[in-house]
Amino acid sequence: MQVDVLNAKELKKAAPVFGQLSFDNHEQVVFCNDKDTGLKAIIGIHNTVLGPALGGTRMWNYTSEWEALNDVLRLSRGMTFKSAITGLNLGGGKAVIIGDAKTQKTPELMMKFGEYVDSLGGKYITAEDVGMETADMDLVRDVTPYVTGISEERGGSGNPSPVTAYGVFMGIKAAAKYQFGTDELEGRSVLVQGIGHVGETLVEYLTNDGAKVYISDISEERLQEVRNKYGAIIFDEADVYSAHVDIYAPCALGATINDDTVKRLNCKVVAGAANNQLADEVKHGQILRERGIVYAPDFLINAGGIINVYAELEKYSRQEIMSKTENIYNTTLQILETAAREDITTHFAALKIAKQRIEDRKKSSLK
């Protein structure tokens, strides 16, 4: 029997895990497969210098396994910096389950996934993300202690989405303060793209603060529901990115700021809940800066959710959760001012602070 052996150059062309553009010295990538339940999942552990890798599980109907891998690598890396800049003693991790959450998610699949999480012995702690509900985390909790965001009835912090939305709201107000000279949103136009759990709650905060809120989503049913509930305006034009609004808040999936969209933006501020909003952190961050568009780094302003679930590990109160989340306002303002002073992008300014905290911890652990 003849066995073909790839040399290093050919292996890189084959785009293995280590050859992925999104691979950034991740510590561990775990592929999970179970024939009986249909589970196909990938767990990405990016960095555990500050503590165990905590990050949500996303269930999405990816077009390919490579798309799923790319997503989990990008998301887990983002979680590292999110925890670091927020001052939490956590590393960065994330998980994706390949499939349609509405039709393929079963209790058996979730518990089997929980067994894979448990096999990592606490190096990765999971939580809720897109396609997941608090009830799913309760199922995972049946087979492993390494899960957060479980129901309040079971001693958890519950759905993290409202706290995530509050942190994004704080980030929006800070960006408005920097760009417009005031954090008052009365009369400001805001386009919220994606009105899931977080997006809807953000719409509520913005509406209560007097903003003129436009909404965009792939689900017509959700659009009607949120419009009727909060009086938001459905954005019905074809091109969301060319909308003449003060603030664009991406709250769906990532990479909406890309080569195709970045030069079409007509907003003054980009600040939303989505992870990895910049398809290319360096290039697109620089273009936004050159165009005078203030970008509030996503991994900073959407950190409310991880603050919320971290409370389960540290046992701090609801009041402390909200206080820490409210501080996102001050940190965002600090980042925007630092970027202007040092003549760098806001993304790079935030990344620098996060990386420095990790490096400092690494050095102190060697002493």
Looking up tokens 């939580």, which residue turns up?
Answer: 127
Catalytic residue among 9, 35, 82, 94: 94
From CA 290, how far away is CA 316, in angstroms rounded? Answer: 42
Phi, psi (5° rounding) for residue 164?
-60, -45
User: 152: burial class by Cβ within 10 Å (0-12, 13-18, 19+)?
Assistant: exposed
> Widest CA span of the chain, in angstroms?
73
Q: Quick check: 68 and 42 in contact, CB under 8 A?
A: yes
Burial class (CB in 10 A: 0-12, 13-18, 19+), 119: middle
Determine whether the annotation assigns residue 195 to a binding site.
Answer: yes
The rounded Cα 76 to chain-centroid distance in angstroms is 9
Length of the chain as a residue count: 367
Question: Which sign does the torsion angle of CA 169, 191, 79, 146 carry?
Answer: positive
Write the CA distances from 179 to 23, 91, 325, integer angstroms. Answer: 34, 32, 21
Cα-trace Rg, the chain:
20
Asked whether residue 199 is marked as a ligand-binding residue, the answer is yes
Reading the block at residue 274, the tokens are 């989505």
Q: Is residue 244 annotated as involved in ligand binding?
A: no
Task: Give catalytic status of residue 212 as yes or no.
Answer: no
Catalytic residue positions? 94
Per the annotation, binding residues for NAD(+) are 194-199
